[in-house]
Structure 1
Amino acid sequence: MHRLLLFSVLFLLTCCSVNAQNKYTPIYRHFTYGTNNTMMANQYLEYILEFSKDYDDPDIYLPPRIWIESDADVTAPLMIVARQKKEMISWQLPLEIEGTNGETNENYTSRTMCHDIIKQYRFAGSKMKVKQENVIVSVTTASVSNVSFTIRVDNQKNFTLELNKEIEFDITPSGPRYFFYNFTSNDTLLSKGDSNYETVILEVTSDDDICMTVSIQNISCPVFDTNQDVTFRGFYETVNRKGGMNIPKYKFPHGFYVVFVAKPDDYACDKGSGSLDSVTNSNRLKRIKLIIKPSITYSDYVKAVLFTLGSIGAFYIIFGLPYFIYSVKKTLPREMAYVDGNFPTTPSARIVRLKISKKTNGTEMTSVQRTTSAISGPSVDVADFDTLAEVDTDRDLRLGRGEPYLVDLARKHPKELTRKSYLYLYNVVTVAIFYALPVIQLVITYQRVLNETGQQDLCYYNFLCAHPLGVLGDFNHVFSNIGYVLLGVLFLIITYLRELSHKDDDFDRQFGIPQHYGLFYAMGVALIMEGVLSASYHVCPNFLNFQFDSSFMYVMAVLCMVKLYQNRHPDINANAYTTFGVLAVAVVLAMIGLLEGNVYFWTLFVILYILMCFYLSVKIYYMGCWSVRDISMQKFRQVWIYDFWSGPVNVIKPCHKARFVLLFLGNLCNWGLAIFAIYKLPKNFPVFLLTIFMANTLLYLSSISS
């Protein structure tokens, strides 16, 4: 009984299988190139379509391109398999393309069959051409209902690119294109020597902002020309309106494919900063212009390098020759005689409040004594003070001058000034070493990753004017920073020679502005490090490591401000540790602003910016004789009362009018920058921070000049 039941089941299954096979019908059709062919398919109908072309047609050597359109549904897509003798590609309709905001479905696609050129050029000098075999396309679907599709096969025009010849074409996310360039076609041009035909520059332009990927691949099958796999081989970059690449022959001796794939959205190009319309627009047809040009010759490299070094050498001679003549004549300042004379007195007098401390019954009491006598002549050096009371008295004397002279602000011993100024040098050298070494290591790693992965988007080169040499992808921009280094060395040499000619501490103490040679050395080292770090940045420039290029610009700007202030206030310069502490905060802010430059960060930054402007204004106005701990209601009341005694207008009248006006104008400029920042929210915070430093340096320089 069981055997009979099993036999019955097997018999029914066999009958059903035979019945199903009878329903499944493969249909063979033969078509020629260049004709549109419309058919209906379902789960029982599979089409095997063969496309052929007359072998006498000159386009027979070009690869076939397949266009197909269908109304199939994603639940039962149309499956397409196209094959030749040794190549095969497959896809489905609707074509699902994954984007940043999800998947999009395309009912129209076009693909180019892989052109096996490598067997033509396997041996150097081979000029043979291979005719294309007939294309066979299989079309099937699992849909129960009929699905309509239209298919056409033709040869791709302008497939082989020519030097200095521009072509135009269209692409879509479902319709990529690729072209072939052959270096051996340049062999006849190599003898001219006017250009470097061993390296070519690929230039791509477009009039729209649709994002696409441009890939350079070997001439081997398969060609990766979809959004999912275009980055799997060769070099690639994203482009919207303009792009380019430098392609050397030694990497692609038999030529290369240039692959163009349109993105389903623009996030890869604008990182979400573009309009929403550009992301959701379904009509993503991109029109492209393509041209290949020869690169510059190696003699052009040599000429550019020699011209740059020659210009800097001429600058050395212009500044070195006068110093040499000056040294030969021995007209050195050591031969100047000391001049006896009285120091100028202050033409105007004002009330000075001197604090006098008394001890009564073990209790220290402080009173304020007023005097209207003008203060003149040099006073005792700060280093000679024995008590804090004497230091406080000196601070009041400094503030008491209506028009202070340089002698009032240059009272410290030269050795003390030298020790403090050299702290700037020690700090800048320490920062340079510990900052530059990781930077150099990082950019070298970037360059290696770029060379190994081919991801050109890792570095924001201007490929149309970037000229590679050796392992460097942008040699000319890296080498352009040699001026920083050589001029920084010249600055250090000048500073050293000048220091040798000023060894008379007593002379420097009595005459002229006290010299801060350590500060000069720090400026020279900062200039050299700017060249090193800027060159490191240009090894692989991108948005995140722009801080490498700007960090020592901050240092140079701040050191220039400190030096300008030292020229007029030698004794009250900022401490080196404080200065570099502020620079460290600036670098941290630059990093945060680069990563999280939102409205909350800008609001916090503007508040800190305004408070810092107010704090520095007070410090400069009182020439360093004011600190936060001096703030108290009792002291404010005393100052207000005694100013009122000297004259009611003195309560609101600034003691130092010129200084007040200059500080007020400087604050107006900084407030303007703060308002601009909170209104515009600039995208590049490090550049804005550098603008603040440079603007204040120029403001202070102009105030000194005036």
Structure 2
Amino acid sequence: MLLRSCWKSRHKNSSGPCWIQPGLAALLWLCVTQLGCGSGAVGETKSVVQKDAEFDVTYNDTVTSENQTIYAFNHTVSRNRTEGVRVSVDVLSQGLESPILFVVRQKQAVLSFQVPLILRGLYQRKYPYNHVGRTLCQPPTRALSETQYFFVDVSTLSSQGTNFQLRVSRVESFTLQTDKKFSFTASPSQPQYFKYVFPDGVDTVIVKVNSDMNFPCSVMSIQDIQCPVYDLDNNVAFIGMYQTMTKKGAITVQRKDFPSNSFYVVVVVKTEDEACGGPLRFYPLRPDELIDAGNRSKILDVVVTPAINSKVYVMGMLFCLGIFFSFYLLTFLVACLDNKRVNKKRELFPNPADMSPAETASLLGKNGDGKTPASPYEYGSFADNGSTLSSEAITDSATSTDNNYGYMERSLDSVGRSRQESLSSVEEDDYDTLDDINSDKNIVRTKKFLCVSDLARKDKRVLSKKYQIYFWNISTIAVFYALPVIQLVITYQTVVNVTGNQDICYYNFLCAHPLGALSAFNNILSNLGYVMLGLLFLLIVLKRDIVHNRAMVRNDLNALECGIPKHFGLFYAMGTALMMEGLLSACYHVCPNYTNFQFDTSFMYMIAGLCMLKLYQKRHPDINASAYTAYACLAAVIFFSVLGVVFGKGNTVFWIIFSVIHILATLLLSTQLYYMGRWRLDSGVLRRMVYIIYTDSIRQCSGPMYIDRMVLLVMGNIVNWSLAAYGLIERPNDFASYLLAIAICNLLLYFAFYIIMKLRSGERIKCLALVCILFTAVVWGFALYFFFQGLSTWQKTPAESREHNRDCILLLFFDDHDIWHFLSSIAMFGSFLVLLTMDDDLDTVQRDKIYVF
């Protein structure tokens, strides 16, 4: 069949080459030399000349279809020493109709290539190269020393004489040394590869290839010691591990993957730069058009360094566990001290719910003057008479709040007063005594100054069940979300390990420590803090929940009528979300890339949303959003996040639509917050808006009734409109981070407003909450610093992402992003503690004296 195909090819195109697959190069040589497939007749004898050749000598010769030259080389191969052999060829003639075929025959391999070498790029564009250099693979030898022969056969089907130059030389420093940098030059037609042998005691190494030149785009590959070596742009991805690179490339190699305890480091320069994010070249007008590739030589250097050993792995894991277990220990000590303080207080001052009125009066006589405590807090500059509080009133208010024993604030009359009466936050003179004043929410919520008792009128058991739905819903979401995510990332990791394609995952390759099948175990381990601290927060909330339920069972007046109403469902949901953030972030870092970014961000949106809901719930327990509404809104946010990443890059239509939706959502939420749900969205909403603006603002020239809320909402609208304008103008590439920035800005704005209004209302922040606020702020500052280091980014090509890679900075095991994981998990835990403890100072203050803002 081979002879028949050769015969047909000769008669079909007498001036063209006899094309046969590269794997049959030896048979091609047989066809050319013995049968004379060329311009002559079948069976025509071709002139064959064999020459003994030497290394490092340049041979200038001419070849035609009527002659063939064979260059015979021999060299001594030692088992303990490996020398590279490189064949360099230059074709000096121009406008060749047929290329020159070079066939290198070795003991266990055959290498063939044509000159000009035609390499194909995107859209099958063709790039010719007249200068070709190839390194011969080195078959292993069992003898201590032996002489090996190889032959270079030169032939062509061109009837015209073609001039060429041939040079065979030994490659200096063919075997790479540990921690020793070696520089070299490569091009698409002159790839380079070198051998590395694992030294004794080293099981893992990191191969680093660097260059000062962004382009041309290159590929580095790690291949086993075998022939042939795949060292061209069109076949370098066939075997081993490989990755594209511009300035930096790094691959971690383990001894267990290479039975021969050695491997080749192959560096290939690509014919085009699209894979590295470079500019697209023009499309050829004709399919057979040859494009001048220009100068695509690139200077690189390679160095092989030992990776960390098992001791560093153990130290890294112990360090990670030690940090977060210390929070468990600290929490345990604080809980012990708190229990000791509470027990001591109970011994000195029994609960007034278990005492008679006479005993309570006697107790007040011993510890105070028996007077009724200071009048309810007022809003400073927002008081009804428009004047600020006097210094005496503020002092009395602060003094009553500083008292650690809540029942000492309450006079004998207030103890005996009915519970329904105590829930009223205003005097009878302030309103008409209608029957529905205490039942109609539209009347209650129109008061100028609302108190928590006005918005905590629903049955506690109903509200508790309502807010517990947050926890059960997020638990259900977590299960159905996490299982397919885990399955998917396992598939990603398997594909990376099987194909060897290092461009699939965006690691920090200079600090990616493998363990088992995982390529970057350190990035996964550093997410342990989210899980451990999320679980710790759940335990803290559970303890508070149990203590509160016990107080309710024994009818503790402080639990029944004082402080912010205790609803723990949202806290449970926040702790669960923090744990899921750790799990999904770990899944994302199994193989971080463009298609699974939402694993790392979905629960970040949920955490931000739940925190804002919890802040609002503190002063508005009756009118907070239901779990179904809240999670539906968060699902919409995640949906837009996916759309933004897929379609948002440079898409003007998408950014216009998103900005309009963002502004409309801000306006609708502002209206909902300002009127506390006392409005409806229907066809007449615009007419009512115009009527309110005309009657209140134009005719009466009256200012807003709820000044505090108006200040917050105006600031919120300014921030959100500014963010929408920024997105529309700049169109940031990282849409997921942009959306997260919107959520965080709104959360910080609302939190700052809450703290300011709390202090202006005469309330104070206890020592524990103040310590948590300061500690959390400092940790967030350091965490954000490490977050913005940007060690990798899936917004760019894998090669461009690797330009940001950096070495480990902590214990030779963790990089900047791992430290971000540590600090952000601690900061989130601290933020949750702030929300949990910031209103502890109100636990002994009646709800009709706690203002809503």
Which of 460, 463, 468 lines up with 2:509 in the alignment? Answer: 463
Distance 1:670 1:633, change over 3 A: closer
Cα separation, 1, equivalents of 2:132 and 2:343:
84
Identify the residue that residue 538 of structure 1 maps to in structure 2.
Answer: 589
Of 140, 149, 160 in structure 1, the residue corresponding to residue 155 of structure 2 is 140
Match of 2:272 among 265, 268, 276: 265
2:220 is the alignment partner of 1:214: yes
Say which SS state the counterpart of residue 501 (structure 1) adopts: helix
Match of 1:302 among 292, 310, 314: 314
Q: Deviations over 1:49-86 (max 9, x none)?
A: 22456x69999951210111224657522211111222
Aligned residues of 1:61 and 1:131 also touching (Cα < 8 A)? no
Aligned to 1:371: none
Q: Which of 591, 603, 617 matches 2:656?
A: 603
Change (3 A) 1:425 1:17: closer
Q: 1:304 to 1:18 in 2, by over 3 A?
A: closer
1:430–1:74 CA distance, 2 compared to 1 (3 A): farther
Q: Give a deviation string over 1:287-341, Cα, whole Å, max 9, x none.
A: 1111111111111111111121111111111122111222244449996547998
Over 3 Å counting, the alpha-carbon distance change for 1:131 and 1:697 in structure 2 is farther
One-letter amino acid of the counterpart of residue 677, structure 2: G
The 5 Å alignment of 1:220-239 reads: 220-239=226-245
Q: Please name the residue that 1:613 is paired with.
A: 666
- Counterpart CA distance in 2 for 1:132 and 1:103 is 40
C-alpha distance in 2 between matches for 1:634 and 1:452: 65
Aligned pairs (5 A) from 1:292-691: 292-331=304-343, 337=352, 347-348=383-384, 376-377=425-426, 393-398=440-445, 400-503=446-549, 504-505=551-552, 507=557, 508-598=559-649, 599=651, 600-629=653-682, 631-632=684-685, 635-636=688-689, 639-640=692-693, 642-643=695-696, 648-650=700-702, 653-691=703-741
**Greater share of strand residues, 1 or 2?**
1
Task: Give the 3-state SS of the residue equivalent to 1:144 in structure 2.
Answer: coil
Which string of whole-angstrom CA distances, capped at 9 and with x for unpartnered residues, describes residues 3-38 of structure 1? Answer: xxxxxxxxxxxxx99977667322333332112222
**Contact 1:59–1:155 at 8 Å: present in 2 too?**
no
Partner of 2:68: helix, strand, or coil?
Answer: strand
TM-score (norm 2): 0.69
Separation in 2 of the partners of 1:532 and 1:562? 23
Deviation (angstroms), 1:643 = 2.7
Return the alpha-carbon distance in structure 2 between the equivalents of residues 49 and 216 of structure 1: 31
1:36 to 58, 62, 74: 58
Structure 1-normalised TM-score? Answer: 0.83
User: Which ranges of structure 2 fall in alignment gaps of 5 or more residues?
Assistant: 1-37, 284-291, 354-359, 361-371, 387-423, 429-433, 757-853
Post-superposition shift, 1:693? 1.3
Secondary structure of the residue aligned to 2:137 is coil
The one-letter code sitting in structure 1 at the alignment partner of 2:441 is D
CA distance in 2, matches of 1:131, 1:378: 109
Counterpart mapping for 1:163-174 below 5 A: 163-174=178-189
- State how far apart, in whole Å, the 2-side matches of 1:532 and 1:658 are: 40
The verdict on how the C-alpha distance between 1:644 and 1:316 changes in structure 2, with shifts beyond 3 A counting, is closer
Whether the 8 Å CA contact 1:345–1:376 is kept in 2: the answer is no
Query: Secondary structure of the residue that 1:683 maps to in structure 2?
Result: coil
What SS does the aligned partner of 1:628 have? coil
Q: Which residue of 1 aligns with 2:393?
A: none
Report if the CA contact (8 A) 2:179-2:303 is conserved: yes
SS, match of residue 592 in structure 1:
helix
Task: Measure how far apart 1:390 and its partner are.
Answer: 9.1
Distance in 2 separating the partners of 1:649 and 1:18: 106
C-alpha distance in 1 between matches for 2:679 and 2:119: 66
The alpha carbon displacement at 1:595 in A equals: 2.1
Alignment pair present for 1:205 and 2:257: no
Offset of residue 445 of structure 1 = 1.4
Query: Which string of whole-angstrom CA distances, capped at 9 and with x for unpartnered residues, describes residues 465-523 of structure 1?
Result: 11111222111111111100000110000000000011145754521111220100000
Q: Contact 1:443/1:539 (CA < 8 Å) preserved in 2? A: yes
Alpha-carbon distance in structure 1 between the residues aligned to 2:637 and 2:334: 40
Counterpart code for 1:238: T
Q: Structure 2 counterpart of 1:394, which letter?
A: K
Rounded to whole Å, the distance in 1 between the matches of 2:81 and 2:311 is: 42
Q: What number of residue pairs does the alignment pair up?
A: 635
Residue 238 of structure 2 aligns to a residue whose secondary structure is: coil
Q: Which residue identity is paired with 1:450?
A: V
Percent identity of the aligned residues?
A: 38
The Cα shift of 1:281 comes to 6.2
> Contact between 1:95 and 1:174, CA under 8 Å: does it hold in 2?
yes
Instruction: Name the structure, 1 or 2, with higher relative contact order (CA <8 Å, separation 6+).
Output: 2
Show the counterpart of 1:275.
279
Which residue identity is paired with 1:698? L
Counterpart check, 1:65 vs 2:91: no
The answer to whether the 8 Å contact 2:82/2:174 transfers is no
Q: Is the CA contact (8 Å cut-off) linking 1:469 and 1:475 kept in structure 2?
A: yes
Q: Is the 8 A contact 1:164 1:292 kept in 2?
A: yes
Distance 1:39 1:630, change over 3 A: same
**1:74 to 1:469, Cα distance in 2 relative to 1, 3 A:** farther
Whether the 8 Å CA contact 1:60–1:132 is kept in 2: the answer is no
| Pair 1:18–1:106, CA change in 2 (3 A) | closer
SS of residue in 2 equivalent to 1:699: helix
User: Contact between 2:46 and 2:66, CA under 8 Å: does it hold in 1?
Assistant: yes
Could you tell me how far 1:668 is from its partner in structure 2?
A: 2.0
Match of 1:358 in 2: none
Query: Is the contact made by 2:438 and 2:444 (CA closer than 8 Å) also made in structure 1?
Result: no
Return the letter of the residue paired with 1:473: S
AA in 1 matched with 2:256: Y
SS in 1 for 2:173: coil
Q: 1:275 to 1:267 in 2, by over 3 A?
A: closer
Residues 1:378 and 1:333: Cα distance change in structure 2 (over 3 Å): farther
Superposition deviation, residue 95 in structure 1:
1.5
Change (3 A) 1:538 1:512: same
> Does the Cα contact within 8 Å between 1:378 and 1:408 map onto a contact in 2?
no
Structure 1 residue runs without a partner (length 5+):
1-15, 121-127, 191-196, 351-374, 380-384
Deviation string, structure 1 residues 432-473 (Cα, Å, up to 9, x no partner) = 000000000111111222222222222222121111112221
Q: Counterpart of 2:250 in 1: which secondary structure?
A: strand
Aligned equivalent of 2:246: 240
* 1:530 Cα deviation from its structure 2 partner: 0.6
Contact 2:77 2:148 in 1 (8 A): no
Q: CA deviation at 1:607?
A: 1.7
Change (3 A) 1:544 1:644: closer
Helix, strand or coil: the match of 2:510?
coil
Take 1:173 and 1:407, find their aligned partners in 2: how far apart are those partners? 77
Q: Give the 3 Å change call, closer, same or farther, for CA 208–85 of structure 1 in structure 2.
A: same
Greater displacement, 445-454 / 636-645: 636-645
Q: What residue is the counterpart of 1:160 in the other structure? A: 175
